[in-house]
Amino acid sequence: MFVVTMLTDPEERGLEPALVDAVRNAWGGGDAVWLSPDEAAEFSLPSLPANQWDVWESLQERGVDLIVQPAEGRRKSILLADMDSTMIRQECIDELADVAGFGAKVAHITRKAMNGEIGFEGALRERVSLLEGLDSAVIETVIATRIELMPGGDTLVRTMKADGSYAALVSGGFTAFTAAIAGKLGFDENRANTLEIEDGVLTGRVVEPILGRDAKVAALEEISARLGLSESAVLAVGDGANDLGMLKRAGSGVALHAKPSVAAQVDLRVNFGDLTALLYLQGYSRDDFV
């Protein structure tokens, strides 16, 4: 048995009941259950529809996300989340580079790395080298003045934790940022790279080894094993090429507002919903939100 979830931007709340019924009727689905009025609905389906991606594409044009997944085991016990452009709106290194005067150059490299056009580790070293000599106090300033939480993130973490889940923030960014964001959102742990600092300034180097794609997969393996849970119990979310390993390995891997080259390799794609979409995908209704 499968579950079809249809959802849209929670600010717009433009999911029409007639549209849900049209898809449900065309696929021979069960009765629609509204998880949030005009925002998210689901229905059961006995088998995968042959034209799933054709329908998905047509709904994208109407600002609606469509996700089809197995019904069994969709509520997860571990949340494994990327940080930059996932739990926060920004890329931290781009913000630091902007302060250092290399914003455009670093942002260009970041885009190429997140699209998978260049290797993550080499790109990180190149970008961090441009930060050499930057006062480390700037990090706290950037966190306080430039970093915004992605909508729905606090609700996602609180609701899953209230239901007994474990939450880990696993980032290719930097520990100075993940510690702050994990603290704000209530993550149980955070993992990231460490910027080398000497005498109060950035050296332009990252403490090795670099946490990249393989390290995120290792985090998934280690955390699930430590908790005595199957990797199928993991809900992973990310947006960049360095997230693909954990997205493909997790029981449910969600590409959230992801780069097109990344989303194309993941079946669970959210382009219009915010982070609360991950709750709807697990069958939570808005009334269940913490």
Residue that has been written with the tokens 């979409």 in this structure: 277
Interhelix angle for 120-129 vs 103-114, to 10°? 170
For residue 17, say if its preceding peptide bond is cis, omega within 30 degrees of 0.
Answer: no
Residues 135, 197: contact at Cβ < 8 Å?
Answer: no
What 3-state DSSP class applies to 115?
A: coil
For residue 41, the cross-strand partners are 6, 34
Q: Give the catalytic positions in this structure.
A: 82, 84
What 3-state DSSP class applies to 66?
A: strand
User: DSSP class of residue 210?
Assistant: P
Burial of 11 (0-12, 13-18, 19+ CB in 10 A): exposed
Residues 259, 239: contact at Cβ < 8 Å?
Answer: yes
Residue 185 C-beta-side C-alpha neighbours within 13 Å:
33
Q: Which CA distances in Å does 156 have to 43, 81, 112, 279?
A: 22, 11, 29, 6
Residues 7, 65: contact at Cβ < 8 Å?
Answer: yes
What 3-state DSSP class applies to 13?
A: coil
What 3-state DSSP class applies to 114?
A: helix
Amino acid at 64: V
* CB-based contacts of 33, cutoff 8 Å, min separation 6: 41, 42, 43
